[in-house]
Structure 1
Amino acid sequence: MITLKRCGANVIHPEGMTIDRPEGSGDYVFVFFRSKMELRLQSRSMYAEPNTYIIYNRDSHYYYKDVELPLVHDWFHFELEGADAWFNRLKLPLDTLMKAHDPLYITRKVNELHWENLQNGTFRQEIIDSIMRCLFMKLSDMRHHVEASHRVSRYYDSFLILRNEVLSSPSIWYSVEALAERMNMSPSYFQQIYKQIFSIPVVSDIIQNRLGHASYLLKSTTYSVSQISAICGYENDVHFMRQFKKFIGQTPSEYRGKG
C-alpha cells in the first residue's frame, strides 16, 4: 500500500522559497512544478519549466528554488514498500524531470489527495492508496503513449491548451466543427486525434465536464435547477435534466437531495 505522509495542493509562495535537503527527505516525494524552478540533480543545475514533475527517491538530494514569482507547485510525500520495482514496472524513473502531458489531471488528483487526507472515513487509507496508484499509472500511460507516437506528440501541446480552455468554460458549448476548425483539421481527424490523446471522445468529455460542474453546484449552492442548467450552458432545462439522468443515474433534484 502507498502511504501518504503529507500533501500540498496548489501551494503558492508569493515571495518564493528554496528547498534544500542534501540527504533527501527520508521518504519519496512527488513534486509537480507549476512555475519555473531551478533544480539540482546529480550535482548539476538545471531548469524545470512549468508543467513538469519529478519523483524523488528517499535519500536523493532534494533541491529546488524559484526562478519566477510566485512559486507554485503541488506535492506529496509518501512511502511505498518495493517502490523501485513499482516504478520500474511503470517505467517512471526516479530523480528524473519529466513533462506533464496533462497538467490539469495532476492538479485534480493532488487536490483529491489533499481533501481525502483530511477525512476520517473507514476506507480513507485505501482511497488514498487508490488515488496515488491511479495518478502514477496514468502518468506512465500518458508518458509512453504520447511520446511513442509522433502523430500524437506533434499535436499534444496545442490540444492540451484547447482542452483546458474548453473544460474551464462549462457554460460555453463548443461544437466539434468549431474546435476542428481552430486546429485546422477536418472534424473526423480532429475527433480521432482527440480520443487518441485523451482516451475519451470530445463530445463525451465536454458533457461529463458540464455535468461534473452541475453536480458540484447542486451540492454546494442554493441555485435552482434552472439556474444551474443555464450556468452549465444548456439552452433548456429539459435537455439538462435528461442528460443528467442519463449520465449520473438520478435527476438533478434526486442528486441534490441524496445525502
Structure 2
Amino acid sequence: MLQIIQGGYNFTHPDGVTIDRPNGIEHYAFVLFKSKTNVIINNQSYVVDRNSYILIRPSTSYLYCDLEKPFINDWFHCNGDEDLADLLSHLDIPVDTPMRAVDPLHLSKYIFDLHHINFQGGPLCEQIIDADLKSFFLKLSNMQQQRAALPELSNRYLSEFSELRNQIYLTPQIQQSVDSLAAQLNLSKSYFQHIYKDLFGCPVTVDIIKSRLEYAKFLLDSSLLSVAAVSKMCGYANESHFMRQFKKYVGVTPSQYKSRQHP
C-alpha cells in the first residue's frame, strides 16, 4: 500500500531555502518547483526553471537551493516499497532527473488534494491515499506521454503557454480577452488559439470561463457574499451573463448552488 509520509503545499520561504540530503532519505521525495532552483543530484548540477518537478529515489544524494526569492514549492515524501517501484517502472516515470511539468497548475492541485485527504483522516484514509497516489502517478505519466505526442511546434511553446494558463487560473477576477493573451506571446489571435487547443485540449475561452466559475464556486462555498458581489469579483461586468454561464457549466444557478452549501 502506498503511503504519504509528510509534505507541504505552496510552501513559501521568503528568504530562500537550502535542502541538503547528502545520504538521501528512506522514502521517495517528489518536489514541484514554483521558483527557479539549483538542484544537485548524485553530484550532477541542474538549473531548474519554475514549474518543473523531480521524483527522487530513496537513498539518493540530493541538494536544492533557491535561485530566486521567495522560494515556493509543493512536495511530499511517500513510500510503497516494491509496489511503488514497480508502478514507477511500469509507467516509465523518470527518477532523479528534473522534468518540465506539462500542466503545473493541475499538478499542484493534485498535490493539494493528496494533502487535504491525508489531513482530513477518517477510517478509509489509508485506502484513499493509496488510490490517490496511484492516480497521481498515472496522471503524471499520462501528461508526459501527451507532451511526447505533441507536434514539435506546439511542444516548443509549452513553457510559455503553461505560464499563461497559470495566470488565467490564478487571476480569474481580471477580465482577459483572447486578443490580449495572444499579444502577450506576440502571436496572432488565430495561431494562438490553435496552439493553445493543441497543448491543453480545450479552447482558451473555455479555460477563462472555468477559472472564473471555479473562483465563483469557492466564494459561494466559503463566504456570505451576494451573487451580485461574487459576479463582480469574478470579472463579470454583467450579473445576468454570470448567472447564465454558471447555470450552463455548473448545472444550477448561483443562488441554488449557494443554498445547497448554506441551507
Q: Is the Cα contact below 8 Å between 1:31 and 1:53 reproduced in 2?
A: yes
Change (3 A) 1:50 1:169: closer
Structure 1 range deviating more: 22-31 or 142-151: 142-151
C-alpha displacement of 1:49: 3.0
Q: Is the Cα contact below 8 Å between 2:2 and 2:84 reproduced in 1?
A: no
Structure 1 range deviating more: 78-87 or 90-99: 78-87
Q: Is the Cα contact below 8 Å between 2:32 and 2:52 reproduced in 1?
A: yes
- 2:35 equivalent to 1:38: no
Name 1:93's counterpart in structure 2: 94
1:119-169 CA-to-partner distances (Å, cap 9, x unmatched) read 134543344344434433333233333345312112212222322222222
CA distance in 1, matches of 2:31, 2:213: 30
Change (3 A) 1:160 1:68: closer
Name 1:6's counterpart in structure 2: 6
CA distance in 2, matches of 1:206, 1:178: 13
CA distance in 2, matches of 1:134, 1:186: 37
Q: Secondary structure at the match of 1:54?
A: strand
Name 2:62's counterpart in structure 1: 62
Q: Secondary structure at the match of 1:82?
A: helix
- The correspondence of residues 197-212 of structure 1 with structure 2, limited to 5 A, is 197-212=199-214
Unaligned runs of 5+ in 2: none
AA at the equivalent of 1:251: T
1:85-117 CA-to-partner distances (Å, cap 9, x unmatched) read 322232211111111233222322222222222
- The correspondence of residues 20-169 of structure 1 with structure 2, limited to 5 A, is 20-80=20-80, 81-148=82-149, 149-169=151-171
CA distance in 2, matches of 1:116, 1:214: 23
CA distance in 1, matches of 2:173, 2:37: 34
The CA RMSD over aligned residues, in Å, is: 2.5
Change (3 A) 1:20 1:185: closer
CA distance in 1, matches of 2:202, 2:54: 26
Structure 1 range deviating more: 143-152 or 195-204: 143-152
CA distance in 2, matches of 1:242, 1:22: 57
Change (3 A) 1:62 1:235: same
Identity %: 42
Q: How many residues align?
A: 259
AA at the equivalent of 1:216: F
Q: Is the Cα contact below 8 Å between 1:146 and 1:152 reproduced in 2?
A: no
- The correspondence of residues 175-214 of structure 1 with structure 2, limited to 5 A, is 175-214=177-216
Q: Is the Cα contact below 8 Å between 1:7 and 1:76 reproduced in 2?
A: yes
CA distance in 2, matches of 1:159, 1:118: 33
Tell me the TM-score normalized by structure 2: 0.85
AA at the equivalent of 1:33: F
Structure 1 range deviating more: 7-16 or 211-220: 7-16
Change (3 A) 1:160 1:44: closer
Q: Is the Cα contact below 8 Å between 2:168 and 2:211 reproduced in 1?
A: no
Q: Secondary structure at the match of 1:38?
A: strand
C-alpha displacement of 1:187: 4.1
Q: Is the Cα contact below 8 Å between 1:11 and 1:74 reproduced in 2?
A: yes
Unaligned runs of 5+ in 1: none
Change (3 A) 1:200 1:20: same
Q: Secondary structure at the match of 1:174?
A: coil
AA at the equivalent of 2:165: R
C-alpha displacement of 1:182: 4.6
AA at the equivalent of 2:54: I
Q: Secondary structure at the match of 1:26?
A: coil
Specify which of 202, 226, 229 is matched with residue 224 of structure 1: 226
Tell me the TM-score normalized by structure 1: 0.86
